[in-house]
Amino acid sequence: MNLLFIGDIVGQPGRRAVKELLPKLREQHALDFVIANGENSAGGSGITVKTAQEIFAAGVDVITSGDHLWDQKEVMELLADEKRFLRPLNYPPGTPGQGSAVFLVQSSRSKPQSPVPIAVLNLQGRTFMQPALENPFLIGADEVKKLRERAKIIFIDFHAEATSEKIAFARMLDGQVSAVIGTHTHVQTADEQIFPGGTAFLSDAGFTGPHESVLGREIAPVIQRFLTSMPQRFEVAKDRVILHGIVIEIDETSGLAHRVQRVAEATAS
């Protein structure tokens, strides 16, 4: 099973990058399943039904999110109706939407009559993060136990700021899940690895969008904010659009990772 995870999609440039580059990546890596973090896909902040539909139409199978979940009011419709859209699981009970789901995937390696179940879990860290949610270590471990009864392959998008929190969480679940990939910082790290138990890990997948920027936003207003401490309007930048992510090869029988490869693919324009 070859799985691609796409780092935080930022605005229209990020959506365009997915549409343009995903077909080539699918062929190049013989992809069976694609997950993307879409929490910044609508104007660089939040997600709407329209932007989610655009991402799904580009070939993404599941969209995860994070702390910008509530930035667009239209997200309530996604949370209510779209089973392929996940929000962090560790919100309080009664919060709309779902934090995990299991999908049946017909991989190129499985028998035609034997779709492979893949569980996807979305969690948000607490260190330097707002709002402060329930403990992802406790909630995540409990949810993994439940998911392991339904799927061998379990992928986790851990949306968090602190690398220590991401690494500790992944180490805790080594051998119990297929992959723990970090999101949120918009900076792709170079620590991709497979832990001794067989769990793939990357501190941060990076972001998909304009990299001639400050984390996807126009440069000058961000500098002005640091210089003056006054509010600025942070528009999405436009230039040097790159898709960041990671490809993970997972054994369908054991659910453990065999290979990881970071992706940094630029658009043609």
Annotation says 29 is catalytic: no
Domain boundaries, the chain: 2-266
Instruction: For residues 132 and 30, give the distance between their C-alpha atoms in angstroms, rounded to a whole number.
Output: 39
Q: Catalytic residue, from 68, 184, 186, 211: name it.
A: 68
Q: Report yes or no: 92 and 132 within 8 Å, Cβ to Cβ.
A: no
Residue 18's H or E segment, with its range, is helix 11-29
Instruction: For residues 68 and 48, give the distance between their C-alpha atoms in angstroms, rounded to a whole number.
Output: 12
Instruction: For residues 174 and 201, give the distance between their C-alpha atoms in angstroms, rounded to a whole number.
Output: 9
Give me the pLDDT at residue 269, please. 77
Give me the pLDDT at residue 110, please. 61
Give me the pLDDT at residue 113, please. 67
How many Å separate Cα 240 from the centre of its chain?
Answer: 21
Check pLDDT > 80 for residue 108.
Answer: no
State the angle between helix axes of 163-172 and 136-147 in degrees (0 to 180), rounded to the nearest 10.
30
% of the chain beyond a pLDDT of 70: 98
- Looking at the domain covering 2-266, what would its CATH class be? alpha beta
Instruction: For residues 6 and 123, give the distance between their C-alpha atoms in angstroms, rounded to a whole number.
Output: 16
Q: Model's pTM, two decimal places?
A: 0.96
Q: Convert the pLDDT of each residue in 162-209 to its tens digit.
A: 999 999 999 999 999 999 999 999 999 999 999 999 999 999 999 999
